[in-house]
Structure 1
Amino acid sequence: MGRRAVPDRVPLLPTTVVGSYPVSEWLERLKTDYFRGRMSYGQLQDVHDMAIKAALRDQEMAGIDIVSDGELRRDNDIDYTLARMPGIEIPETAKDFYFDYYEARLAGPPPEPAGTSPLGLAADLAFTAAQTTAPVKFSFTGPFSLSCRVHDRGGTAQRDLVLAMARVLNAEAHALAEQGAELLQIDEPFLAGHTDQVALAIDAVNVVTAGVDVPWALHVCYGNRYARPSWEGHYDFLFPEVLRAGVDQLVLEFARKGDDDLSLLDRYDWPGALGLGVVDVKSGTVESPQLIAARIRRALGHVPAERLVINPDCGLRNLTGPVARAKLAAMVAGTALVRAELSALHPESQGATP
């Protein structure tokens, strides 16, 4: 830590998304057609390009400061990356529904990086960055969660597999930085279901981020499979291990869970920025700007404004397009209310960023 937690060119209380964006019914059908062998890979990529451009326009029109590609090339939170991981074998690549998980296995020794962009994610960032003038957050699933979907490790210890995957992701992160990445985020959606493995997950995070000098975020949620949490609990399982993570920002959910866990940031003196979840992505109810503003004000009692980033709890994939757009607009409007209040109180602080 010690670097900036967000790109330079954003305002105080920058707004962003966690990563994923809604997948409309027509896109679901086309993706599923591909996984059933009814569409070529080239055709699917054309569809993805169009969908990403639309998602970027939606975010820009809502006033989001740091946008994402909506993770719209990915079938779910695991498989797009896992299927590209060296040494991982997917015996059956067909799926009944695009969002289903593959059954994966380790085909030989633990994976080793191969090439300058071993997973090909740098090309995804290049396409996205070419479509917008806004800063882009680029996210990818972390090595611990990826390992959780490898059901046959062939005798390799989980720790060895996780750290090997982390080295591949580190090579990819270097490629992303070379491509001009302004904010990289590691997602660990499975960690809340394996709270006894936090030390291993943080060890792996530090391998991923090593030597890559860009702002880094770590997103930990309680799962968002079909708009339902996979686990329940509190973020105390992350501490104090997360204090040694080589990241500049923690991205956590608070809208659905409430603010109880904000006190953990005080108790453990978290020194970085907080990506504050203020939008419940598991509910179709659109929050009012006033409710968003109230959630931000409560967080300001624990984290100073210059270290707060405003985002939904998790990805928006399971919401409809109209609901997601309305929630993002409300989030931007609620953030604007608090910015105006802070400007009136401390005009000299405007423009400061984490």
Structure 2
Amino acid sequence: MSLPLLPTTVVGSFPVPEWMERLKTDYSRGRVSGAQLADVHDMAIKAALRDQELAGIDIVSDGELRRDNDVDYFLARLPGIEVRRATKDFYFDYHDLAVTAPLPPATGDELAWLADDFAFTAAQTTAPIKFSFTGPYSLARRLRNQAYADQRALVLDLAHRLNGAAHALAARGATLLQIDEPFLAGYPGDVTVAVEGVNAVTAGVDVSWALHVCYGNRYARPSWEGHYDFLFPAVLDARVDQLVLEFARKGYEDLPVIEKFGWDRTVGLGVLDVKSQEVETAETVAKRIRAALDLVPAEQLVINPDCGLRNLSGAVARAKLAAMVEGTAQVRRTLRPLPEPIVQGA
């Protein structure tokens, strides 16, 4: 894909309008049909793509608008997973999910609907697309494990199913896939297991891979606090091309850690605090990018919000993205090579 220096993107999710929240909740309570909800999702994804295009985002996403949350969309329909309560009071709530026997052998098509999701999005835009899904470690953390002797075995079994989905996504034209591990920051001692799971997901899938690790974004609040040094050196073994990290809310003191351990791939630089309704100025975004450029070359930076935009209002999200694009443009202009001097008489 042809991209400018300091390409802009989103992490994944997009705001869910209140009217859509009501419809999704009605569906979770059994009051709206799946066909009706699918039509709503199609319309909302088209609108989210248009918002991103109007803002000038270089790499867009579907806004994850078909998903009720970051776990149930992947696990609740997976063969071998027990859903102990079929309905939910609010669409964003988590199901009570359990695995009471080892999952059946992976066939590669357990998560086939993800490729359909991507294909719909690709038909609506000519922009490059990032397609994200929750990683095996975080999915395992939301399951009542009553079947596996240890967490690692469950993580790897889920990873094999996600690998099948990744193959299907690549076959439908996906070129940039992102694994989200929002629970990893809460269990930093498990980073080696999480990286092993990531590598099982990416194995044999020839696309660009990103790994997003944040401190949680449930209801616009962090679930944990800490520093990204826990990722190293284990994450250096992750077969991914990019680390997408949260910085705007926390500050940029973790950036030297990335330099210290020799991360030589791309960094997705969080420059928008998605847990705040305050809209950053373009100048603030530019300042944050310039601070990162002191440690990371421009060629290794991708510019994005800290995390998904789900918990922001549509107006605030659009304003933040516009500021991000303009702030990035300000920095790009300063990085352009100077024109060659004109030599008289040459």
* TM range, smaller chain: over 0.9
Matched, 1:183 2:176: yes
Partner SS for 1:168: helix
Partner of 1:80: 73
| CA deviation map 1:191-232 (0-9, x unaligned) | 000111000000000000001110000000000000000000
> Rg bigger for which structure?
2
Query: Does the 8 Å contact 1:22/1:318 carry over to 2?
Result: yes
Partner SS for 2:115: helix
Partner of 1:256: 249
Matched, 1:41 2:34: yes
Amino acid at match of 1:140: F
**4+ runs deviating over 6 angstroms:** none
- Deviation, structure 1 residue 343: 0.7
**Given the two structures, how large is their TM-score scaled by the length of structure 2?**
0.96
Amino acid at match of 2:296: V
- Deviation, structure 1 residue 117: 5.8
**2: CA distance between counterparts of 1:118 and 1:287?**
37
Structure 2 unaligned segments of length 5 or more: list them.
341-346
Matched, 1:236 2:229: yes
Partner of 2:311: 318
Partner SS for 2:249: coil
Query: Does the 8 Å contact 2:110/2:161 carry over to 1?
Result: no
Partner SS for 2:336: helix
Partner of 1:70: 63
Computed over aligned residues only, the root mean square deviation of the Cα atoms, in angstroms, reads 1.3
Please identify, of 226-235 and 150-159, the stretch whose mean Cα deviation from structure 2 is larger: 150-159
Query: Does the 8 Å contact 1:147/1:161 carry over to 2?
Result: yes
Matched, 1:207 2:207: no
Partner of 1:99: 92
Query: Does the 8 Å contact 1:86/1:113 carry over to 2?
Result: no
**2: CA distance between counterparts of 1:162 and 1:111?**
14
**Given the two structures, how large is their TM-score scaled by the length of structure 1?**
0.94
Partner of 1:273: 266
Matched, 1:301 2:289: no
Aligned pairs, number: 340
**2: CA distance between counterparts of 1:118 and 1:336?**
38
Matched, 1:20 2:4: no
Query: Does the 8 Å contact 1:86/1:112 carry over to 2?
Result: no
- Deviation, structure 1 residue 115: 4.5
Structure of greater relative contact order (alpha carbons < 8 Å, 6+ residues apart): 1
**1: CA distance between counterparts of 2:111 and 2:172?**
14
Structure 1 unaligned segments of length 5 or more: list them.
1-7, 348-354
Partner of 1:350: none
Partner of 1:351: none
Matched, 1:110 2:107: no
| CA deviation map 1:264-316 (0-9, x unaligned) | 11110101100000000000000000010010011111111111000000000
Amino acid at match of 1:66: I
- Deviation, structure 1 residue 87: 1.4
Amino acid at match of 2:73: Y
Q: Percent sequence identity over matched residues?
A: 68
